[in-house]
Structure 1
Amino acid sequence: MKNVFKLNMVLWVMGILSIPAQGQDLKSLIDLALTNNLEVQQLAVNHKRALEKENEVDYLPDTQVAVGVFTSRPETRTGAQQFKVSLKQMLPFFGTVKARKNYATALADVKYQELVVKKRKLILGVSYLYYQLFQNKASQQVVQSNLSLLKTYEEWALTAVEVGKSSVVDVLNLQIRQNELNEKNQVLREQYEGLSAELNALLNRDMTVKIEVVSELLIPERQALKAVDKLEVHPELVKYDKLYHSISDAEKLNQKQRKPLFGFGIDYISVAERPQMNFGDNGKDILMPMLSMSIPIFTKKYRSKTKQFVLEKEALSLGKQQRFKELESSLYRAKSDRNAARIQYETQNKNIRQTANATKILIKSFETGTLDFDKLLEIQELELKFQLVKIQATRRFYEQCALINYLIQ
């Protein structure tokens, strides 16, 4: 393997910063996903819509205008009333409009937090798929390398058969093993296409776009796990805080809405002149300013809302505690799995070195005598197994690093 790719898990958005090798950079794929992903775009639109709600709630009650014509004109001293025009404007209690805007802002904050959570999960999902693609590609290269090695062994076996130092059975065994590895290689290629399509779906682009990833990752030096109290600012938990705050604002609005409404207006009545009469106020129109107040006498619904808000806050508090415990458990489990992956990685390195030494010993014996192809094939199968397990352990290590950063970054 010639391509070396290192990830420093404590940098960049989720602690993911790549040193590019041959293959696509994980950071660029994540940036593309954050820009193109449809769910992220949908949540961003929902957040904008929630922000626009602030303008919607900044209003006063509609102005009431009424016009009436007297079908039977009532007579007054100054003349008969012809028609009446009324104008009335109600005003909410002091601070009600501000309370509505605060509540709308709080709901917009909740929508924004949902967007933040989705982006984090998207980054984690893209990272997982990337590491799966890495495992697949690295496995393909290992299988291909072992196929080339088996081809060489087959040539040696054919030579040994010609000089009577080996059996045709050894050749057949080597060929059967090659068939198995060819099958495995083809399966890996098909799986790579499926994983690529899944990643392209997250990137919101054509499923057939080819994705090239690195074929080798190095596990860095041991890193201390960050403090657990970082979980307190995890966006999933912050969302609970935003919801709690929105309920507080909803209750403030509820208290404002149970207050009286005040109104002012004016009535204008057109009065016709009395015929054949001459006095100062003859036909004088009537203008009557008015003040009004709407008193909410039946307040049961407001009291009920207050009780509901109290219960909802209690439910949110319990939900946040439960989610914190789940995230905390995931954090410690990820730490353990990451350590286990490192142990497995280091063990496979030792096993690979030892099988390489065993292979050298067997090959050296071929120079002086017969070569035990059964033993050679057995060791080759062990080495392939160790190489694949090492790749799997590397993938698991970086997946757990990505999960840890999702939880505490």
Structure 2
Amino acid sequence: MKRMKSYIKISSILCFILFISKVQSQQLETFIVEALANNPEIQKFELQYSIASEKVNEVNTLPNTEFGVGYFVSEPETRTGAQRFRVSAKQMLPWFGNVTARENYVSSLADAKYEDIVIAKRKLMVSVSQSYYNLYANKAKQHVLSENIKLLETYETLALTSVEVGKASAVDVLRLQMRQNEMQQLLDVLSQQYLAEQTAFNNLLNRENTVAVSLISELNIPSDDFEIISENLALHPELLKYDKRYQSVEKSELLNQKESSPMIGFGLDYINVEKRPAMSFSDNGKDIVMPTVSISIPIFNNKYRSQTKQNELQQKEILAQKSERLNTLETLLDKAKKDRISARISYSTQAKNLQQAKNAEEILLKSYETGTIDFKDVLDIQELQLKFEMNQIESLKAYYEQTTIINYLTQY
């Protein structure tokens, strides 16, 4: 049931992470599902949980049964004959509820360990999503650079024509060529960075580093943001883990109280008796069978009182840690919300600037028809246009990255 609840939570998160673009959701959801199934870190946490769960069977046991055998080197004589050897068996039993308390304590530790799986899966989803957006942004920048290089090649052709008719100098052509070289350098660097990010992405999915990643062709900021339910932050797995740890300490104290109770033992002794020779009576050589009962009392119980004190202090520590983590998560959520708003503002501003740069570019091209084009102005406008396009891509990536963080913190 717990595992099913976890998958339900993860499905809900997927729905919100992939809410923004249907096309994007089909691709990114596939990657996330593959990562959750194959990522070795997730497998590590699942194995740790399985080990913790198996410990319940380990503690569901009684103390070892004691067997003893003794041989009388000097056989003591009794009225019924000489005692030859002795066999004994003894079983100590813990106080009522001790085994159950031990099982409950170990189960509570497994519950706390299970939250590690949920947290690891949510963090993996964030990592896959952010790496995906990094790849998209890199590819978008490469496309922008390629288009700008083509544009500069067109300007170079215009400049060469102007040089031939004496309306431009060879310096203008050289400026355009140097600018193309710079853009080609940026394009080559981005290509290498893309391959590095692709390796990181594939490693998250635990597959070959060279596998090509299929990306959405176009990504836009939606007109409206989904509602952020800040109250859900209190139910975040990182905080629920502290609740589980607190409960495990409670179970530990119950176990401590049970272990401070006495233990009862039951046993049986058998003594072999040899018949007395040349004598005849009813109990001659009769063996001895003696049931025994024992009790183990922890008279010096400072150990248990100290454990109780430690448990009290540990509970206070857990509450303090939870409060500290809640403050950190609240700060992260507020920052992500503000950064996402900033990304939307920046995206809108860059769109306006980009449109104005394109208008300026059209004016320059119209000026060419009258023979008054200034290629230095062309380079300035082109550089501005490239800057605005790059900033717009960064704003788009920042928007989705912050959305991913918000989902991680609030969606269930």
Tell me the TM-score range normalised by the shorter chain.
over 0.9
The DSSP-based 3-state class of the residue aligned with 2:14 is coil
CA deviations over 1:112-147 (Å, ceiling 9, x no partner): 111111111111111111111111100000000000
Once the 2 structures are TM-superposed, how far is the Cα of residue 18 of structure 1 from its aligned partner?
A: 6.8
Could you say which residue in structure 2 is the equivalent of 1:195? 197
- Matched to 1:143, the amino acid is L
CA deviations over 1:40-65 (Å, ceiling 9, x no partner): 11110010011110110100111111
- Matched to 2:346, the amino acid is Q
Residue 388 (structure 1) aligned to one of 358, 382, 390: 390
Q: Which moved more, 1:179-188 or 1:33-42?
A: 33-42
Q: Could you tell me the TM-score, scaled by structure 1's length? A: 0.95
> How many aligned residue pairs are there?
401
Residue 314 (structure 1) aligned to one of 297, 300, 316: 316
Distance 1:173 1:209, change over 3 A: same
Could you say which residue in structure 2 is the equivalent of 1:172? 174
Is residue 66 of structure 2 the alignment partner of residue 64 of structure 1? yes
Could you say which residue in structure 1 is the equivalent of 2:114? 112
Distance 1:125 1:143, change over 3 A: same
- Assess if the C-alpha contact under 8 Å between 2:159 and 2:168 holds in 1: yes
- Matched to 1:242, the amino acid is K
Could you say which residue in structure 1 is the equivalent of 2:286? 284
The DSSP-based 3-state class of the residue aligned with 1:320 is helix
Could you say which residue in structure 2 is the equivalent of 1:253? 255
- Assess if the C-alpha contact under 8 Å between 2:18 and 2:24 holds in 1: no
Once the 2 structures are TM-superposed, how far is the Cα of residue 213 of structure 1 from its aligned partner?
A: 2.1
Could you say which residue in structure 1 is the equivalent of 2:28? 26
Could you say which residue in structure 2 is the equivalent of 1:273? 275
- Assess if the C-alpha contact under 8 Å between 1:268 and 1:288 holds in 2: yes
Could you say which residue in structure 1 is the equivalent of 2:95? 93
- Assess if the C-alpha contact under 8 Å between 1:84 and 1:267 holds in 2: yes
The DSSP-based 3-state class of the residue aligned with 1:161 is helix
Once the 2 structures are TM-superposed, how far is the Cα of residue 35 of structure 1 from its aligned partner?
A: 1.2
> Tell me, which stretches of 5 or more residues in structure 1 are unaligned?
1-9
Q: Could you tell me the TM-score, scaled by structure 2's length? A: 0.94
- Assess if the C-alpha contact under 8 Å between 1:54 and 1:104 holds in 2: yes
- Matched to 1:138, the amino acid is A
Could you say which residue in structure 2 is the equivalent of 1:122? 124
- Matched to 1:378, the amino acid is D
- Assess if the C-alpha contact under 8 Å between 2:19 and 2:25 holds in 1: no
The DSSP-based 3-state class of the residue aligned with 2:326 is helix
CA deviations over 1:220-246 (Å, ceiling 9, x no partner): 122254222111110100000010011
Matches within 5 A, 1:202-217: 202-217=204-219
Distance 1:90 1:283, change over 3 A: same
Equivalent-residue separation in structure 2 for 1:114 and 1:31 (angstroms):
18
Once the 2 structures are TM-superposed, how far is the Cα of residue 30 of structure 1 from its aligned partner?
A: 1.2
Equivalent-residue separation in structure 2 for 1:23 and 1:160 (angstroms):
50
Equivalent-residue separation in structure 1 for 2:378 and 2:52 (angstroms):
68
The DSSP-based 3-state class of the residue aligned with 2:213 is coil
Q: Give the RMSD, CA atoms, in angstroms.
A: 1.7
CA deviations over 1:132-172 (Å, ceiling 9, x no partner): 11111000000000000000110111111111121111111
Task: Give the number of the structure whose residues are more often helix, by fraction.
Answer: 2
Percent identity, please.
Answer: 51
Once the 2 structures are TM-superposed, how far is the Cα of residue 311 of structure 1 from its aligned partner?
A: 0.5
Is residue 147 of structure 2 the alignment partner of residue 139 of structure 1? no
- Matched to 1:172, the amino acid is L
- Matched to 2:255, the amino acid is L
Equivalent-residue separation in structure 2 for 1:89 and 1:256 (angstroms):
18
- Assess if the C-alpha contact under 8 Å between 2:271 and 2:287 holds in 1: yes
Once the 2 structures are TM-superposed, how far is the Cα of residue 11 of structure 1 from its aligned partner?
A: 5.9
- Assess if the C-alpha contact under 8 Å between 2:13 and 2:407 holds in 1: no
Is residue 341 of structure 2 the alignment partner of residue 339 of structure 1? yes
Once the 2 structures are TM-superposed, how far is the Cα of residue 290 of structure 1 from its aligned partner?
A: 1.0
Q: Which runs of 4+ in 1 moved over 6 A?
A: none
Residue 405 (structure 1) aligned to one of 394, 407, 412: 407
- Matched to 1:334, the amino acid is A
- Matched to 2:409, the amino acid is L
- Assess if the C-alpha contact under 8 Å between 1:40 and 1:118 holds in 2: yes
Once the 2 structures are TM-superposed, how far is the Cα of residue 206 of structure 1 from its aligned partner?
A: 2.0
Equivalent-residue separation in structure 1 for 2:47 and 2:73 (angstroms):
55
Matches within 5 A, 1:146-161: 146-161=148-163
Could you say which residue in structure 1 is the equivalent of 2:298? 296
- Assess if the C-alpha contact under 8 Å between 1:133 and 1:192 holds in 2: yes
Once the 2 structures are TM-superposed, how far is the Cα of residue 266 of structure 1 from its aligned partner?
A: 0.8
The DSSP-based 3-state class of the residue aligned with 1:82 is strand
Equivalent-residue separation in structure 2 for 1:332 and 1:169 (angstroms):
52
- Matched to 2:318, the amino acid is L
Q: Which moved more, 1:180-189 or 1:373-382?
A: 373-382
The DSSP-based 3-state class of the residue aligned with 1:204 is coil
Q: Which moved more, 1:163-172 or 1:270-279?
A: 163-172
Equivalent-residue separation in structure 2 for 1:176 and 1:51 (angstroms):
66
Residue 221 (structure 1) aligned to one of 220, 223, 230: 223
